[in-house]
Amino acid sequence: HHHGPTALPPPPGHLPPFHVHREHIGRSGMRALWVIFAMFTISVVLTVILAKRVERKFRLFHLITGAILVCAHASYLVMACGMGVTYVRTFKHAADGAPVLRQVFYARYVDWAITTPLLLLDLCLLAGVPKIQTVTIIFADLVMILMGLFAALQQGSERSRWFMYAVSNAFFLVVLYGVVVNGRQAASLQASNVKRVFNVTSGMTVLLWIGYPIVFALTEGAAKISVDAEVIAYGVLDVFAKIVFGFYLLLAHSHSDGDSVVLPESWTEPRGGSRYGAIASDD
Ligand code: RET
């Protein structure tokens, strides 16, 4: 009998028939992926149009928000084409006792690893959060996403999956603290319009982001809801956390000089002798 070049040698002895039950995306999930892909496509075009309407020096938030939208647009295209997805063992069994494997879209985590730091950068630059605090918030966020990815792909033990979920949530608390405490403190020094825009965008961030670990627990965590429901739930959160957030930020922040953000000295001042790199001693 001929085996292809990559075929493994036949197993020794008799193996029991191995069959598994698979949970995967259906029609409504596929339709949702394409609809959300289309929404991100339109949003990218609108962001470019909005950017063209303001002077170059007021385009920082358009650039960051545009990068977030382009990234999500690419990630939805990848997922709608059936890429960035794998099967992971759940800890459930089908009626006939077969283990249940479930589709996990790890492409999301690649997207989130890039876009959540940029969303936080939007908020930190808006409030004028000092550099070191900004870097801390963004690094905590990156660890949160990566630990979530490892939890989602974990097949060995259910306990280690939930342990890593807890670690990820601990880093999430650091992010929330940074946005609510450091962000609010920095924003309190800004003009009233900037303060108002920060209150709305940071409030949206806190409320919407809390939705992600909840959806995770129901889907990649415990496989309580279908893959279609998962795609729709994350999709709704993504649309609000990226598109609604982004356009509110760009439209409410009216780009007149009186509204512009005041960054701490350490962001803007040239290097001096008493500095630690480009960072002020009081930063
Ligand atoms: C995971 C699982 C583990 C626990 C926690 C999570 C948090 C995820 C968050 C994602 C935010 C995504 C956004 C995407 C862009 O639209 C990784 C789901 C805490 C907060 C805002």
- What's the ipTM? 0.98
49-58, 128-137, 176-185, 198-207: the lowest-pLDDT one: 49-58
d(CA 44, ligand 1 centre) in Å: 22
Tokens of 130: 């000092």
pLDDT of residue 156: 87
Report the 10 Å Cβ neighbour count for 78: 19
d(CA 72, ligand 1 centre) in Å: 14
For residue 205, give the ligand 1 atom closest to its CA: 21
Q: Is 168 in the pocket of ligand 1 (CB under 6 A)?
A: yes
Tokens of 141: 């966020």
Percent of the chain with pLDDT over 90: 79
Q: Is 172 in the pocket of ligand 1 (CB under 6 A)?
A: yes
Q: Is 212 in the pocket of ligand 1 (CB under 6 A)?
A: yes
**pLDDT over 80 (residue 145):** yes
Distance (Å, whole) CA 282 – CA 203 = 28
Helix axes 192-216, 245-252, angle to 10 degrees: 180
Beta strand extents in the chain (DSSP E only) = 21-23, 85-93, 99-105
Best residue among 144, 160, 240 to mutate for probing ligand 1's pocket (most ligand atoms within 8 Å of CB) is: 144
